[in-house]
Amino acid sequence: MIKLVALSDSLFVTACQNGSGNLLLISWRLNPDGSLSRLHDSGNAAGAVSEISLLDVSENNAGDRIATVVCNGSGNLHIIVWSVTADGTIVRTGQALAGEATRIRAVRDSFGHMITACRQGDGKLLLIVWTVTPAGDAVVREFDSDPWGSNQVGEVRDVAVMSRPNGRIMTAVRNASDELQLILWVVAPDDFPMRPWSLYRSRTAGQSTGQASLINLCQEPLAGNAPLVTVVRTGSGSLKLISWRD
């Protein structure tokens, strides 16, 4: 469960589950000669985790704030915001909790929101849009993908997510039939005239891809006619890449 984020060309933070099962963040310096120096860590500032996502949530590319999105010791989705100083000191500043969740993933959209995608307690896909306050001392839950049931996807067994331009979010899931399914979501402005909520399901890929597991989305959008790539393990155990366009 080791994750890595670069806050600058020379300052990095890793997040992992330590030997006691707790979340541990460590800052690192990349030196001019290519060597790495361990700077500081988060100590005992967080508890037990079983899943980890790590995001840079700095404002204006400042490279001074990160968020860990984890499944905590109670099995719930737990967001913790951390401040990272220039010398690598890591300080916990804010947090938010949601309900029971697994297969937790997180990205930032083009509006600066933090989007979490997960398999909620009933097995269905849930996306949540969050805002980190300017001081980093709180995380506000803004809206969900399914406020009244019309956006339900059904049971999912694995989740991957990436940000797309213009407030779009792409999820790639392993559905109840163990097949790969892509679903496009739109984070709409509050005055969006056609919908009474701010996150809605826009499109679902119709092609059958066969059985798939260990689903990943290439986080970098590619050039050309097929800017999306999924990589999966097929039902026969082979590696398979599929290109897509949205």
Q: Three-class SS string for 136-150?
A: CCCEEEEEECCCCCC
Q: Quick one: CA torsion of 58, 246, 220, 62, rounded to 10 degrees?
A: -10
The DSSP bridge pattern shows strands 49-56 and 90-108 to be: unpaired
Looking at residue 146, its pLDDT comes to 67
pLDDT tens track, the chain, 246 positions: 899 999 999 999 999 999 999 999 999 999 999 999 999 999 999 999 999 999 999 988 788 999 999 999 999 999 999 999 999 999 999 999 999 999 999 999 988 899 999 999 999 999 999 999 988 899 999 888 865 555 567 889 999 999 998 889 999 999 888 999 999 998 876 655 555 447 778 888 866 688 999 999 988 878 888 899 999 999 999 999 999 988
Residue 60 has, within 13 A of its CA and on its CB side, a CA count of 1
Looking at residue 196, its pLDDT comes to 46
Nearest Cα neighbor of 102 from 80, 82, 78, 120 is 120
Nearest Cα neighbor of 106 from 156, 71, 64 is 71
Using CA atoms, how far apart are residues 3 and 189, in angstroms rounded to an integer? 31
Looking at residue 215, its pLDDT comes to 93
- At the top level of CATH, which class does the domain 1-144 belong to? mainly beta
Domain boundaries, the chain: 1-144
CA–CA distance from 180 to each of 39, 128, 171, 195, 242 (Å)?
Answer: 41, 21, 10, 28, 10
Q: Residue 12: in which H helix or E strand, if any?
A: strand 11-17
Using CA atoms, how far apart are residues 167 and 189, in angstroms rounded to an integer? 9
Q: Quick one: CA torsion of 81, 171, 149, 178, rounded to 10 degrees?
A: -120
Looking at residue 231, its pLDDT comes to 95
Looking at residue 188, its pLDDT comes to 77
Looking at residue 43, its pLDDT comes to 95
Looking at residue 141, its pLDDT comes to 93
C-beta atoms surrounding 42 within 10 Å: 23
Say how many residues make up the chain: 246
